[in-house]
Structure 1
Amino acid sequence: MSEPVADPVPDPEPVAEQESVAERNRVAEPVEASAHETPVTSGIRRGLPRTPGGEPWPPAGTVAGRGPSTGSGTQVRPVEPDGPAEQDGVAEQDRVDDLVEASPRAALVVTATAPPRPPTAWNGTAPRRIATAAAASARPRPTWTQGIAVLFGAAALGVLAAAAVALVRTLLSFPFMQDFLAAFPGEYTSPIAVEPGFAPWVGWQHFFNVFLMVLIIRSGLRVRTEKRPTVFWAPRGNPKGKISLTLWFHQALDILWLVNGVVFVVLLIVTGHWVRIVPTSWEVFPNALSAALQYVSFDWPHENGWNNYNSLQQLAYFATVFIAAPLAAITGFRMSGLWPKKAEKLSKAYPVEWARALHFPIMLYFVAFIIAHVALVILTGFLRNLNHMYASQDAVTWTGFWVFVVSLVVIAGAWVAARPLVLAPIAKVFGNVSGR
């Protein structure tokens, strides 16, 4: 028994004059349940384009006809035009729905002149992100030749360092250099008396400074490499001041770091310990040179940090506290949203390009200072130095070491927790947080 005859599909649109009566009759014929029907070569009316400025829909070359049926209804297949497949990323079913909307006659079986293409699933990601991911995956990976070049570069630096050590040791063996070391041993006695030792507040300030500096460097590097932020922060009542959550975190850390620095300087002045890091004699320069030569020769100067820093340490601490830190603050303030927008003359006198050119090198200075500082702490009496900084005692015990370990655990925990899931609730206290 044959299947029920399908109702003819009315065409609400005017039919082209060239269409024959036989063609209309053929449209109204029942669809047979056969998997081997040949397509009917009847053109389908092309409507408006799917996208502004695009070609009319359906594509040129689409034909209507009778095709296989599954027994449950009419099967519809879109027709692919001759040539390369479309790269618009639309699923086949979406194209079929659009084809049916373009003309009710497309409810008939539509077959393709080319083999059907596998459906392309829409993954819900913006095309620009797809292109970015593809470009990132297409980046060339380091080759073994580049690895060998890195090894050779490291070996060359090692050879240069060894040559520098040998050269300085040879230089210091001459009589005139021995006289120089005797006259300038690497430190001088300050004309202003200062109480020896470190108060407990020095240890706390040192910990807070390290804690904030590590997170500032981490967030600063993140700001430089973050292309498309996912979370934003804006001050209440000023949606135009919206910045990325990472930048907000970086600036908030900067403010805390500055507050900690102001407290440190005030306590230095009140207690008189500013003499330890501020040069009080021109002898600091030849003594600093002497200390540097002794460090390079690995015949290091006498360490007596509990009472007095050597001249090289004093200059390094002075430059860090009173030069590098203010420059970091000034350049960061110039690049931040706190800078007054209406101060045109001030902005012209201090261009933002200058701040950008200085801010990153200053961060590199802090990184180099931290590396050298930690290395010398380890190499010049590890336990005693840690006791100076974390236990406020001049002894070779493990107390300062364990306090130092606890501080590292706290810093590592803050490093891991510095992500939007943790930062967003904190940022909401001070403003509005959004995802766009």
Structure 2
Amino acid sequence: MFTLLPNQNSPRWWYHPEMADANKLRHHYVVRLTHWLTVLCFFALLVSGIEILISHPRFYWGEAGNAAMQPLFVIPIPASRATVPTGYNFVLPDQNGWSRFLHFQAAWAVVFVGLIYLVGGLVTRHFRRNLLPAGGDIPRFQWPTEAEGTSYNVLQRLTYLGVVFVAFPLILWTGLAMSPAIASVAPDAVILLGGQQSARTLHFVLTVLLVGFLVGHVAMVWLAGFRKRTRAMITGDSE
């Protein structure tokens, strides 16, 4: 009979020694695999997203937005679609063909990876064990050190939960809302955001927040012992 409870004698595929002795492994193999796949997808999305942004670095609120309208804000970079002569002999940096293709492929890849992480996190109890703050953790804040940083403090746990269950779903929603196909099939998904241009603006803001999270995440890893923490995310070892 199938069970989701960890058992040292269980031959099931979801069992891992980590589930019997949490001190042997720092990270479950599902967490490690999805972590590095997400890193690859995120950088592909970031690079392709920047290329798409160069095409029109102006943001609006509502359904419509174009160069003749007053923007909500403008990114101070030169737009690639400036007025140029018809017969120019240079290549504009606007290459939306490959950037949009890569962006869409990486987006669906990260959705697939996210589903694996979600199922794996529930089955292995990763969320409850590593991300959900315990009652005694709430009033306490400890800075992780290389010697003591064997678990996430409450601020880290809440941040990771926010990224996984709030930021990523929202950035997926806003990305889909920019699609004409989604707008036709599920118009309410666009209306709730205030329009397609609103979705684009929110998508950009969420991207900035995720980049900020990435910088903070790497900084915390560095302060807590970069080599040890990186090795733990590759091999799973806590030592």
Does the alignment reach a TM-score above 0.5?
yes
Matching residue's letter, 1:275: R
- Shift in alpha-carbon separation, 1:212–1:345, aligned structure 2, 3 A: closer
Per-residue displacement from partner, 1:169-224 (whole Å, max 9, x unpaired)? xxxxxxxxxxxxxxxxxxxxxxxx98343222322211111111111111111101
- Shift in alpha-carbon separation, 1:224–1:382, aligned structure 2, 3 A: same
- Shift in alpha-carbon separation, 1:381–1:224, aligned structure 2, 3 A: same
Q: Which runs of 4+ in 1 moved over 3 A?
A: 193-196, 227-232, 280-285, 300-304, 342-350
Task: Name the residue aligned to 1:372.
Answer: 216
1:208 maps to 2:37: yes
**Unaligned 5+ residue runs, structure 2?**
1-19, 56-79, 82-91
How many residues are paired up? 183
Separation of aligned partners in 2, 1:274 and 1:344: 33
Candidates 28, 33, 36, aligned match of 1:199: 28
Matching residue's letter, 1:268: G
Q: Answer with 1 or 2: which has the greater Rg.
A: 1
Q: Within 5 Å, which residues of 2 pair with 1:28-427? A: 195-196=22-23, 197=25, 198-226=27-55, 227-228=80-81, 244-287=97-140, 290-291=141-142, 294=143, 303-305=148-150, 308-341=151-184, 343-344=186-187, 347-350=190-193, 351-395=195-239
- Shift in alpha-carbon separation, 1:381–1:326, aligned structure 2, 3 A: same
Per-residue displacement from partner, 1:21-69 (whole Å, max 9, x unpaired)? xxxxxxxxxxxxxxxxxxxxxxxxxxxxxxxxxxxxxxxxxxxxxxxxx
Could you say what secondary structure the match of 1:374 adopts?
Answer: helix
- Shift in alpha-carbon separation, 1:279–1:202, aligned structure 2, 3 A: closer
Identity %: 26
Could you say what secondary structure the match of 1:393 adopts?
Answer: coil
Say which is worse superposed, 351-360 or 277-286, in terms of deviation.
277-286
Matching residue's letter, 2:153: N
Q: Does structure 2 retain, via aligned residues, the 8 Å contact 1:223–1:246?
A: yes
Q: Does structure 2 retain, via aligned residues, the 8 Å contact 1:331–1:358?
A: yes
TM-score using structure 2 length:
0.66
Separation of aligned partners in 2, 1:329 and 1:382: 30
- Shift in alpha-carbon separation, 1:303–1:327, aligned structure 2, 3 A: farther
Per-residue displacement from partner, 1:89-148 (whole Å, max 9, x unpaired)? xxxxxxxxxxxxxxxxxxxxxxxxxxxxxxxxxxxxxxxxxxxxxxxxxxxxxxxxxxxx
Q: Does structure 1 retain, via aligned residues, the 8 Å contact 2:131–2:152?
A: no
Q: Does structure 2 retain, via aligned residues, the 8 Å contact 1:268–1:274?
A: yes
Separation of aligned partners in 1, 2:187 and 2:37: 37
Matching residue's letter, 2:222: I
Separation of aligned partners in 2, 1:285 and 1:257: 31
Separation of aligned partners in 1, 2:126 and 2:186: 39
- Shift in alpha-carbon separation, 1:346–1:309, aligned structure 2, 3 A: closer
Matching residue's letter, 2:123: V
Q: Does structure 2 retain, via aligned residues, the 8 Å contact 1:335–1:352?
A: yes
Which protein, 1 or 2, shows the higher relative CO under an 8 Å CA cutoff with sep ≥ 6?
Answer: 2
Separation of aligned partners in 2, 1:205 and 1:344: 32
**Unaligned 5+ residue runs, structure 1?**
1-192, 233-242, 396-436
Matching residue's letter, 2:148: E
Matching residue's letter, 2:105: A
Separation of aligned partners in 2, 1:338 and 1:249: 18
Separation of aligned partners in 1, 2:100 and 2:50: 10
Per-residue displacement from partner, 1:294-338 (whole Å, max 9, x unpaired)? 58xxxx697333xx3211211111111111111110110101244
Could you say what secondary structure the match of 2:182 adopts?
Answer: coil
RMSD of aligned alpha carbons = 2.9
Matching residue's letter, 1:219: S
Separation of aligned partners in 2, 1:358 and 1:253: 19
Separation of aligned partners in 2, 1:355 and 1:202: 30
